[in-house]
Amino acid sequence: MIRRPSRLLPLVVGVAALVAGGPAGATTPPEPDVGIWNQVMLDGNLDAKAKGLRLQLDFHLRRMNSPLQYIRDMAGQIVETRQNPNTFVVVRPAIGYMWAKWGGLFAGYIWLPDFFDDPEFARTRNVDEHRIYTQLTLRWAVEGRFDINWRNRVEHRIRTHGLGSDDVVDGVPQTMGMSRWAHRFRQQLRVAINFKETRRGSSCCTTSSSFT
């Protein structure tokens, strides 16, 4: 009997070599997505001047390097990741009236600018956004044990610079099919639980937010 050489072994070896060699030449560059967030919150109780009057200031300063840019070769593989350092600011003052410990109404203003370091990138990505809002805050608490805070806010937004504004860059409108005006309803539920029945004991806090 004459046995013919099998073609299965060379085929298996070839497929194995192809699979093993594929990922080795397609290395993905790192994605250095880094950010630093800083926040300062101030609450002013003006009961001495007017019963229930409150002042608030919420200030955020965020330093980020995203959104990242992905540079691809002719085959579509990502060969380089470029960072876009930028500074994002939130300034949120508000005035309100607390008619009781469990409820109050607030009105405020929010300034939301975003400044990119790269002048060329900043021409189309810098944002200048303004919002006004009204807010209903409800609270249910047992002192020293737990605190439930439910915030309901209606925001009205206008962009005066950047995507979604009336800017025109190199003849291209920046509206991108969007209106410079937008409206949003936001809710936030915050639950804080103290492990010990004391104001200085350890506690656990969780927050959930939703918006439409």
The predicted pLDDT at position 185 comes to: 96
The predicted pLDDT at position 26 comes to: 54
Residue 163 forms part of a structural domain: yes
The encoded tokens of residue 154 equal: 């209606």
Pairing state between β 181-194 and 146-161: antiparallel
- Tell me which residue of 90, 183, 97 sits closest to 136, measured CA to CA: 97
The predicted pLDDT at position 53 comes to: 97
Task: Yes or no: say if 183 and 153 are a contact pair by the CB < 8 Å rule.
Answer: no
- Alpha carbon 134 to chain centroid distance? 21
Residue 165 forms part of a structural domain: yes
Half-sphere exposure of 84 (CA within 13 A, CB side): 17
Task: Yes or no: say if 112 and 131 are a contact pair by the CB < 8 Å rule.
Answer: yes
* Tens-binned pLDDT, residue by residue, of the chain (212 aa): 445 544 544 444 454 444 444 444 456 777 777 889 999 999 999 999 999 999 999 999 999 988 887 888 888 888 888 888 999 999 999 999 999 989 999 999 999 999 999 998 888 889 999 999 999 999 998 877 788 999 999 999 999 988 888 888 888 888 878 888 999 999 999 998 887 665 566 677 777 887 77
The predicted pLDDT at position 13 comes to: 45
DSSP 119: H
Residue 19 forms part of a structural domain: no
The predicted pLDDT at position 44 comes to: 95
The predicted pLDDT at position 93 comes to: 97
The predicted pLDDT at position 199 comes to: 57
Residue 8 forms part of a structural domain: no
- Tell me which residue of 153, 151, 138 sits closest to 184, measured CA to CA: 153
Residue 110 forms part of a structural domain: yes
3-state secondary structure of 106: strand
Task: Yes or no: say if 80 and 68 are a contact pair by the CB < 8 Å rule.
Answer: no
Pairing state between β 53-64 and 86-100: antiparallel
Task: Yes or no: say if 151 and 174 are a contact pair by the CB < 8 Å rule.
Answer: no
What CATH number should be reported for the domain holding residue 43? 2.40.160
Q: Number of structural domains, the chain?
A: 1
Residue 166 forms part of a structural domain: yes
Task: Yes or no: say if 158 and 127 are a contact pair by the CB < 8 Å rule.
Answer: no
The predicted pLDDT at position 201 comes to: 60
Amino acid identity of residue 40, one-letter, is: V
Determine the structural domain holding residue 173 and report its residue range. Answer: 33-67+85-211
Residue 26 forms part of a structural domain: no
Residue 154 forms part of a structural domain: yes
Q: How far apart are CA 148 and CA 27, in angstroms?
A: 49
